[in-house]
Structure 1
Amino acid sequence: MSDLRRAAEEWLAQDPDPATRAELRDILDDDQALADRFGARLEFGTAGLRGELGAGPNRMNRVTVMRAAAGLAACLPSGGRVIVGFDARHGSRRFANDTAAVLAGAGLRPEVFADPVPTPVLAHFTRAFDDVVAGVMVTASHNPPRDNGYKVYWADGAQIVPPTDAEISAAIDRVGRVDALLLGAGWLVHDGAGLYLDAVSSLNLGTPDPGLSIVYTPLHGVGRDVLLAAFERAGFAAPAVVPEQAEPDPDFPTVAFPNPEEPGALDLALALAADRGADLVIANDPDADRCAVAVPGPEGWRVLTGDEVGGLLAEHVLRETSGDDRLVVTTIVSSSLLRSIAAAHGVRFAESLTGFKWIMKAGGPPDVAGERGGSSPHRKPDRLVFGYEEALGYSVGDDRGVPVADKDGIGAALAVAALAAEARQGGRTLLDLLDDQARRYGLHATAQLSIRVDDLSLITAAMNRLRAAPPARLGGCAVESFDDLSHGEDGLPPTDGLRFRLAGGSRVVVRPSGTEPKLKCYLEVVLPVDGDIAADRARAAADLDALRADVAATLS
């Protein structure tokens, strides 16, 4: 008997799920299929677990989830409360209940939401109670329909970071058969998102405009009901919801990929907005932690980039808040615009590694320029009022700070609506506000290049090649400096990334994706505005095209 066959039969003996047991029985004589499922395992990291549904340790299934819950339980104090949420994907409710059963059996006090909830609702609940020691969200966010995932939050309401992830991973490795785990029952069930709604709908970010016409899509996810309730509480008229995408559906039938960044994902929303003459389109991803925005322009509807929305929201929040202890944070792959905005408003600025788990940990003692966040004996502690990443993730706060220590697509949607209402009352649009920022801070144009591979060794080879021989020019501009982020630059933890700073303020960051088999390149061009902003935008687009072509050729 082969090792793969033996591993599969051992899995069969403990698997509580008849569907994955049947899947395994059908492939017991297929070595290639067994190798795909048993030749590796899903690694538990700072993003928790995420992968394709199916049998075996290299898939998301009940055994994988129960092992993860047992490993998590081993790292938590006995008797602590753990809040568990889940989205509407295939298997999510079952995985949440399995998690609760394992945690209860291990002496913890799990509490599970009665129905699917957005990720920011779970994140808020995790930090809202002093005796909560962790939170679990069963979701694969905007991944394809065949995937699911498992995100872990700590008592501060933020996603875990090292070394906590490694400690949980090691504890998972020590878990034996799941049919030998002690399972509990009778855990508390949460009914509704009222606590989250109280926090996010009371954000003090300006006066709502009931006349603002908004079209909204949850992309078949779980955001609709909570977003509509939040808008009603905040005084906005109810957005028109795209009917074809209104109900949660784990198969995401109207989109090729349930990510609002993907081409075509917003087509139905844009068509409805054009038909209604709407002022604004807002979209959440399926677990509602991301927010996409589109506005009408002279040439039709325009979808704003994450960096454009981030810049607009940052300045809006800073106008509506006060205090020299305020902190704004973005990531090393997001636009450099936020640094300039922070300086103009006299607030603290910090950069973090990619991901909201790092945004929420940003800060530390101030550096020589006084830019970094944190606290010192000579000043008040930082008060994070805004954080964002270019991948449509935003945490929006007010003078009380941020209500969610993670990206929050519903709170961001409220803030975008408030900003659009303010602009509309002055006879202006979000596009006018973008032009204002370009004139104040220079035009910051950003774009991405993703290179997907079938063999992960190609990513390693490309990164090593760039480290060994970094280019002298990119996009026609001299490379003025090169940072290997694996050494830990500017006080940041080491990460597998490369940063090229170009003449004129442009830059390129290259890193492997943390969730997909691809190399991601983040491009930024910075240009002064000389009066004809339309011409400057056209020149920036051409410069981005040249930069994209050069980077693609360098990595080929």
Structure 2
Amino acid sequence: MPPKFGTSGLRGLVTELTPELVGDHVRAFLAACPHGGAVHVGRDLRASSPDIADVVIDAVRATGLEAVDCGAVPTPALALEAMAQGHGAVMITGSHIPADRNGLKFYVPTGEIGKDDESAIQANLGATPTRGPRGGLARSSDTMAAYVARYERAFGPGALSGLRIGIYEHSSVARDAMRDVVAALGATPVPLARSETFIPVDTEAVDPEVRAQIVAWCAEHALDAVISTDGDADRPLVADAAGRVVPGDVLGALTARALGAEVICTPVSSNSMIDRMPEFARIEKTRIGSPFVIAAMETVRAANPDARVVGYEANGGFLLGFTASLDEGTLAPLMTRDCLLPILAPLAAARGRGVTLADLVADLPGVFTAADRVKEVPTEASRALIDRLARDAAARRTFFEGMGAEAEIDLTDGLRVRFDGGRTVHLRPSGNAPECRCYAEADTAEDAQELVERHLAKLKAELVEGAGPSS
């Protein structure tokens, strides 16, 4: 799969992310988008990221702008610093995808690039580089510290007092930040499985081996929770004391409630329990991807600047659109996916109520989701299958055999079918990896997982074992 550029950034095999290709995209970004006169550059812990960061920094300086080298930092920490100084940013990361791939994420001074920015960048690709005075190079050592301090000030030293929290460190660029912040909030951090080689962790589809290991850690170390993130730390992973992973859209609902949000913007794939929660006055369903969530949040804020609006995705990445007041302080808006807030807010809420995280989850409406994906399948093949199912009722009856009558079909993003009785299956090509994703929703966690496994097998039969569908 050749490198692909979209609103989520540039992604591709490391061998194909040549200096020429990377430099072209950086120059196009700087020509097309506001940057405030400087660009902050961060990276994850992949082996390829330092070299790509050097290319990005060189390309920025070659345009006459100052480059600020922030080193290995979480994506939300990089965005927080750049936005605070009114600058652009580039994060070198492939997020959760395998180590042989990498990519770039672009930020304007107000946050993530949007669809209009994407089009403008693409229109500027291939332009002849201009030559002029070379820009300067600065180094920032405060990026991580400012990110941790944001949550220390807001939650306070007793927010997690008495808890033992396991930190699945793997190769998350936020592993030290997680340790520092939970300790500052009064918990005892227990570091687990630190790796010096990159390990891709998809918080939306946690591997069974990782789930089993989390269960074992909880028992071995008497933990109250296990926390982690994906590679660049814009998605959280949280498990309760029994090692049960709490889905990202459940963390989103708990975080929104803890912050006193009134409006939620979230993709159509997120758990529909929020429709049954009276504390939320308005739910805006979007296509999958943070740019669509951000666009919906900005529409809400434009209509009412005082709206208590938040956004989140099924992967758990959380966006704060208003100044939230907590017991010890306030949190300023951060309109980019963040991992720490949806980790800390549910744990602090449970601690404040004197209950466990599992108790907090059990108090939510009984709607359960599951998700997984078929890997290494061409996006075109996934899209062809899903398009065929969307337009062909007979093909859907065969693919969804045993599910009963269709109650609703939603084509907002892929194919989402709700059947009589409420069970739901959602199929969608990944927007940033050669994967086909399957989401399910049901009245029990077991049923939701069974639905995913059943339909994942059907997807594999169509996309991997067979020649794939014809359009």
Distance 2:216 2:69 in 1: 38
1:148 partner letter: N
Match of 2:190 in 1: 240
1:189 and 2:139 matched: yes
SS of the equivalent of 2:154 reads coil
Cα pair 1:216 1:283 within 8 Å, conserved? yes
Distance 1:106 1:453 in 2: 37
Number of residue pairs matched? 448
Match of 2:202 in 1: 259
**For residues 210 and 381 of structure 1, do their structure 2 counterparts lie closer, same or farther at Cα, with a shift above 3 Å needed?**
closer
TM superposition shift of 1:240? 1.0
Backbone CA RMSD of aligned residues: 3.0
**For residues 462 and 520 of structure 1, do their structure 2 counterparts lie closer, same or farther at Cα, with a shift above 3 Å needed?**
same
Distance 2:48 2:283 in 1: 41
1:293 and 2:243 matched: no
Alignment of 1:7-86 (within 5 A): 41-54=2-15, 59-76=16-33, 80-86=37-43
Cα pair 2:255 2:341 within 8 Å, conserved? no
1:460 and 2:383 matched: yes
Distance 2:284 2:156 in 1: 22
Cα pair 1:290 1:392 within 8 Å, conserved? yes
TM superposition shift of 1:374? 4.3
Match of 2:257 in 1: 315
Distance 2:402 2:186 in 1: 45
1:167 to 94, 103, 120: 120
Distance 1:191 1:147 in 2: 27
**For residues 41 and 461 of structure 1, do their structure 2 counterparts lie closer, same or farther at Cα, with a shift above 3 Å needed?**
closer
Distance 1:350 1:206 in 2: 35
Alignment deviations for residues 469-509 of structure 1 (CA, whole Å, 9 cap, x no partner) = 13367653321232333xxxxxxxxx5x2232322443332
2:99 partner letter: P
SS of the equivalent of 2:232 reads coil
Distance 2:248 2:409 in 1: 25
2:167 to 193, 216, 240: 216
Alignment of 1:279-290 (within 5 A): 279-290=224-235
1:210 partner letter: S
Alignment deviations for residues 431-483 of structure 1 (CA, whole Å, 9 cap, x no partner) = 22222213xxxx21112253345444422321231122133676533212323
Aligned-pair identity in percent equals 27
TM superposition shift of 1:70? 1.4
1:86 partner letter: R
Alignment deviations for residues 297-345 of structure 1 (CA, whole Å, 9 cap, x no partner) = 4xxx322222332333332222xx6xxxx4222211111112322xx11
SS of the equivalent of 1:168 reads helix
Cα pair 1:219 1:284 within 8 Å, conserved? no
Match of 1:328 in 2: 264
Distance 1:316 1:499 in 2: 29
Match of 1:23 in 2: none
Distance 2:390 2:215 in 1: 43
TM superposition shift of 1:206? 10
SS of the equivalent of 1:392 reads coil
TM superposition shift of 1:50? 1.4
1:516 partner letter: A
1:413 to 308, 330, 343: 343
Match of 1:506 in 2: 423
Structure with higher Rg: it is 1
Cα pair 2:264 2:280 within 8 Å, conserved? no
SS of the equivalent of 1:101 reads helix
**For residues 90 and 553 of structure 1, do their structure 2 counterparts lie closer, same or farther at Cα, with a shift above 3 Å needed?**
closer
1:355 partner letter: G
1:259 partner letter: D
1:90 and 2:43 matched: no
2:253 partner letter: G
Match of 1:359 in 2: 293
Cα pair 2:268 2:288 within 8 Å, conserved? yes
Distance 2:331 2:421 in 1: 35
Distance 2:220 2:147 in 1: 33
1:271 and 2:216 matched: yes
Query: After the TM superposition, which of the residue ranges 277-286 and 75-84 deviates more from structure 2?
Result: 75-84
**For residues 237 and 381 of structure 1, do their structure 2 counterparts lie closer, same or farther at Cα, with a shift above 3 Å needed?**
closer
TM superposition shift of 1:216? 0.5
Q: TM-score, normalised by structure 2?
A: 0.85
1:109 partner letter: E
**For residues 63 and 477 of structure 1, do their structure 2 counterparts lie closer, same or farther at Cα, with a shift above 3 Å needed?**
same
Between Structure 1 and Structure 2, the one with more strand by share is: 2
Distance 1:353 1:448 in 2: 16
Match of 2:450 in 1: 545
Distance 1:544 1:194 in 2: 39
Distance 2:218 2:174 in 1: 19
1:482 and 2:389 matched: no
Q: TM-score, normalised by structure 1?
A: 0.73
SS of the equivalent of 1:143 reads coil
1:511 partner letter: R
Match of 1:370 in 2: none
Match of 2:314 in 1: 390
Match of 1:155 in 2: 109
Match of 2:153 in 1: 202
**For residues 408 and 360 of structure 1, do their structure 2 counterparts lie closer, same or farther at Cα, with a shift above 3 Å needed?**
same
Distance 2:214 2:253 in 1: 24
Match of 1:146 in 2: 100
**For residues 183 and 519 of structure 1, do their structure 2 counterparts lie closer, same or farther at Cα, with a shift above 3 Å needed?**
farther
Match of 2:360 in 1: 433
1:434 partner letter: V
Cα pair 2:94 2:101 within 8 Å, conserved? yes
TM superposition shift of 1:267? 5.1
Distance 2:113 2:343 in 1: 25
2:347 partner letter: A
TM superposition shift of 1:165? 0.8
SS of the equivalent of 1:406 reads strand
TM superposition shift of 1:265? 3.0
Distance 2:298 2:105 in 1: 25
Distance 1:275 1:521 in 2: 33
**For residues 224 and 359 of structure 1, do their structure 2 counterparts lie closer, same or farther at Cα, with a shift above 3 Å needed?**
same
Alignment deviations for residues 101-120 of structure 1 (CA, whole Å, 9 cap, x no partner) = 2222213232221x311111
TM superposition shift of 1:94? 2.8
Distance 1:78 1:223 in 2: 25
TM superposition shift of 1:48? 1.2
Residue ranges of structure 2 left out of the alignment (5+ in a row): 463-471
Distance 2:421 2:382 in 1: 29
**For residues 296 and 363 of structure 1, do their structure 2 counterparts lie closer, same or farther at Cα, with a shift above 3 Å needed?**
closer
Match of 1:444 in 2: 367
Distance 2:336 2:35 in 1: 26
SS of the equivalent of 1:210 reads coil
TM superposition shift of 1:215? 0.7
